Amino acid sequence: MARRKGNRAAVTPRSEARPKLLSIVCPAYNETENLAAFVVSVEACMRAIAQPFEIVFVNDGSSDGTLELMNRLRQTHGRIAIVDLSRNFGKEIATTAGLDQAKGDAVVVIDADLQDPPEIIAEMIAGWREGYDVVYARRRERHGDGPVKKLTAALFYRVIHRVGAVEVPENVGDFRLMSRKAVDAVCSMREQHRFMKGIFAWIGFPSMEVLYDRAPRAAGTTKWNYWRLWNLSIEGITSSTLAPLKFSTYFGFATALVAFVSGAFFIVKTLFFGDPVPGFPTLVVVVLFLGGIQLMVLGVIGEYLGRVFNETKRRPLYFATEVYPSDAGSGWPTVRKAV
């Protein structure tokens, strides 16, 4: 595993060799095939480096036996907290729910499918010890991803780099370690339309990267089809920048300029040379072209207006049916109702 630093500010090494408690946040939706192996792998990795930890599972409205398996794992292994969301809110909000409940002085966000190997956490802790508040894992290879997915991901990052207000690291998912300061900053941002990669980048604390090769899923199938990825891309762009609105304005001005010049040309041509051709097909094409542009611009405005509408409702991000704390650092916990 290679490691390369990517901070923009000087850092001061921490005096502690490791966090007193490391919270590992894992959102899960229909992951019964992976959770048991995930817990075994995490425990082995943490035991190897003598790191106190807790796992914070977030059941994101699963329709299979995910919640029941989480409860069995909690009874068998301990040190497992469970946040049972009242319905499927999506991965971005499920991740937020896990961060809200994590009580460690450092927090790792990781998926349950074992594509992101828990062994990398040891290198992340080394970066935390050096003084970095965010240590993110950059994918060197994306085994298991097809060429179309790799291409669309590359195009998305190219667009977000050009139009975004902050730099979102390329080939970086949610897999990262954050200090308590960084976690508190992320949790203070409560917008409804959440693009976690953009939020992680926006807080701007000193960061470094760890390179790794991403493995195929251990079991099961991905929940991210191309339609969901497309919607996530739109969410990422609209939540990170006003560039689409600015582009619509510039495009509108450019179209108006072309229409003005074309109109002047046809007026001069008619006055001096006449116009024997009625030009009905040209008129239809121009009308449809301008109508399409207007609908496109209205669509962009509607996307932003819809997000403003949702934010003004000021609804909670999620509701949890139950929250089961972990027994990390204390005796066996009692079950308490979520508020």
Residue 302 is predicted with a pLDDT of: 79
Residue 291 is predicted with a pLDDT of: 77
For residue range 46-57, what is the model confidence (pLDDT) as tens digits? 999 999 999 999
Q: Is 93 exposed, middle or buried (0-12, 13-18, 19+ CB in 10 A)?
A: buried
Residues 6+ apart with CB under 8 A from 155: none
Query: Residue 22: is its pLDDT beyond 80?
Result: yes
Contact criterion met (CB below 8 Å) for 128 and 200: no
For residue range 169-214, what is the model confidence (pLDDT) as tens digits? 888 888 999 999 999 999 999 988 888 888 898 898 999 999 988 8
Cα dihedral: 111, 116, 121, 124 (round 10) = -100
Residue 142 is predicted with a pLDDT of: 65
Residue 58 is predicted with a pLDDT of: 96
Residue 3 is predicted with a pLDDT of: 52
For residue range 261-275, what is the model confidence (pLDDT) as tens digits? 777 776 777 777 766
Residue 335 is predicted with a pLDDT of: 37
For residue range 94-113, what is the model confidence (pLDDT) as tens digits? 999 999 999 999 999 999 98
Query: Residue 42: is its pLDDT beyond 70?
Result: yes
- Helices H / strands E in the chain, number of each: 10, 10
Strands 80-85 and 53-59: parallel
**Tokens coding 247:** 């582009």
The pTM assigned to this predicted structure is 0.75
Query: Residue 336: is its pLDDT beyond 80?
Result: no
Q: Which CATH code fits 3-225+316-337?
A: 3.90.550.10
Strands 134-142 and 53-59: unpaired
Residue 224 is predicted with a pLDDT of: 57
Largest CA distance in the chain: 94
Share of the chain above pLDDT 90, in %: 41
Instruction: Report the alpha-carbon distance of residue 175 to residue 137 in Å, rounded.
Output: 6
Phi, psi of 142 (to 5 degrees): -120, 70
Q: 149 falls in which pLDDT band (50, 70, 90)?
A: low
